């Protein structure tokens, strides 16, 4: 008989480092890749693996996220399947979630209702493909209380991650440290470390006991990575799962093992640029392991005008349905649904979200324009960064970011 598995997706993050993209929405609800939301990636991984009892724990500015999940992620109730957003219910008292571990503690009723043998706890704001069945199978075979997904990274980058240090067997976790400057390399690769991916598989009893114990500790931060995992590591009950061993159907040599934490504006931008190479670093065209999302009745994209310089065209770009590129040039960009790019405009190396409109003769370079931004005729964005800094957000790497519906002044 197959093991009973419940999936919990932690989607309560504020995403402060992604401002202004998170001014009006939770981080997992931020659009990505033209047609998707960040949360679609973890939900697609779970659904493709056959885990169809999924709760999404939400908190900050959750309306956009709740609406997306409710409209998009509908399962067959005949078979008892569901994907449901669950806000902080204050079941344990008049307070919101104090951390990811507290979110699970306040949601014990969800676990009690399903009585699973194992609980998957995944984050909602990373871009990747993964077959979680293989991680669950590894966890069951190990007999550990928790298995933590780890991705190999250079030892020199250890101070940028939560680092998993393992024993000589390469499996049992002996230390779980946050951004150490003196990390130790892996037994089979001294120049590499395991960075935590924020994905866990728990034996149910071990999860409940650890979270209850943590809830009694008034000094705890009530965080999965900072509190629960170190507790189980100290007891010798935590294993690592090497993400390198995960085989996703349809993956290519180039995008196998791809995982990106898009927690900053620059990493968010870079992850978009990973999509548009001829042989993309992350391949959205893997039909054996699709990423699902809402599919409204948008018409196909349209490219119009062919007269001299006034030619509607897009090169090295991903163009979504409902887009009209009218006598203008779009290069190396991600263009979301219902975007309009008018004649003689030039968009280069940019991310245009739904409903953006670019006026005639406008120039957009290395920019992220959130939903419903209107750029007037002749305006230049990303050309003079000093000027842009006075009006908009500019990232460390010089990416100009304009928030949802923000007015662009000529």
Cα→Cα distances 319→35, 99, 302, Å: 10, 38, 10
State residue 1's pLDDT score. 65
Cα→Cα distances 346→9, 86, 232, 349, Å: 40, 43, 54, 10
- The reply, when asked if residue 349 is annotated as ligand binding, is no
- Phi, psi dihedral angles at 144 (to 5 degrees): -75, 160
Condensed to tens digits (0 to 9), the pLDDT of residues 343-358 reads 999 999 999 999 999 9
- The reply, when asked if residue 4 is annotated as ligand binding, is no
Cα→Cα distances 180→22, 83, 155, 238, Å: 29, 37, 10, 19
DSSP 343: T
State residue 95's pLDDT score. 75
Condensed to tens digits (0 to 9), the pLDDT of residues 20-50 reads 999 999 999 999 999 999 999 999 999 999 9
Residue 282, helix vs strand vs coil: coil
Model pTM? 0.95
State residue 2's pLDDT score. 81
The low-confidence residues of the chain, meaning pLDDT below 70, are 1
State residue 123's pLDDT score. 94
Pairing, β 363-365 against β 380-381: parallel
- The reply, when asked if residue 50 is annotated as ligand binding, is no
- The reply, when asked if residue 196 is annotated as ligand binding, is yes
Spatial distance between the Cα atoms of 162 and 227, rounded to a whole number of angstroms:
12
């Amino acid at each position: 008989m197959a093991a009973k598995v419940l999936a919990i997706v932690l989607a309560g993050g504020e995403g402060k480092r992604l401002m202004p993209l998170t001014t009006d929405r939770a981080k997992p609800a931020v659009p990505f890749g033209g047609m998707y939301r960040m949360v679609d990636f973890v939900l697609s991984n779970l659904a493709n693996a056959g885990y169809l009892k999924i709760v999404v724990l939400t908190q900050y500015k959750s309306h956009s996220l709740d609406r997306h999940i409710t409209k998009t992620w509908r399962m067959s109730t005949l078979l008892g399947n569901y994907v449901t957003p669950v806000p902080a219910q204050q079941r344990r008292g008049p307070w919101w979630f104090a951390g990811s571990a507290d979110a699970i503690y306040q949601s014990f009723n969800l676990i009690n209702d399903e009585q699973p043998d194992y609980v998957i706890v995944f984050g909602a704001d990373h871009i990747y493909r993964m077959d979680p069945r293989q991680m669950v199978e590894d966890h069951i075979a190990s007999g550990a209380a928790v298995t933590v997904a780890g991705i190999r990274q250079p030892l020199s980058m250890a101070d940028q991650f939560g680092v998993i240090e393992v024993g000589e067997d390469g499996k049992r976790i002996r230390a779980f440290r946050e951004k150490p400057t003196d990390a130790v390399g892996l037994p089979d690769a001294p120049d590499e470390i395991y960075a935590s991916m924020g994905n866990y598989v728990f034996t149910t009893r071990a999860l409940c006991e650890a979270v209850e114990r943590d809830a009694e500790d008034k000094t705890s931060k009530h965080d999965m990575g900072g509190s629960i995992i170190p507790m189980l590591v100290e007891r010798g009950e935590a294993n690592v799962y090497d993400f390198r061993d995960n085989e996703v159907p349809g993956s290519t040599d180039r995008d196998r093992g791809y995982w990106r934490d898009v927690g900053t504006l620059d990493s968010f931008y870079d992850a978009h640029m990973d999509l548009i190479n001829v042989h993309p670093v992350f391949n959205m065209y893997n039909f054996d392991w699709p990423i699902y999302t809402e599919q409204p009745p948008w018409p196909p994209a349209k490219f119009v005008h062919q007269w001299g310089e006034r030619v509607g065209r897009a090169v090295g770009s991903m163009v979504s349905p409902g887009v009209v590129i009218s006598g203008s040039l779009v290069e190396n960009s991600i263009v979301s649904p219902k975007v309009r790019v008018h004649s003689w405009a030039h968009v280069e190396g940019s991310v245009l979200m739904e409903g953006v409109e670019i006026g005639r003769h406008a120039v957009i370079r290395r920019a992220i324009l959130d939903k419903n931004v209107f750029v007037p005729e002749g305006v230049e964005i990303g050309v003079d960064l000093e000027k842009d800094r006075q009006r908009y957000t500019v990232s460390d790497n010089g990416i100009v970011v304009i928030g949802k519906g923000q007015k662009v002044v000529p």
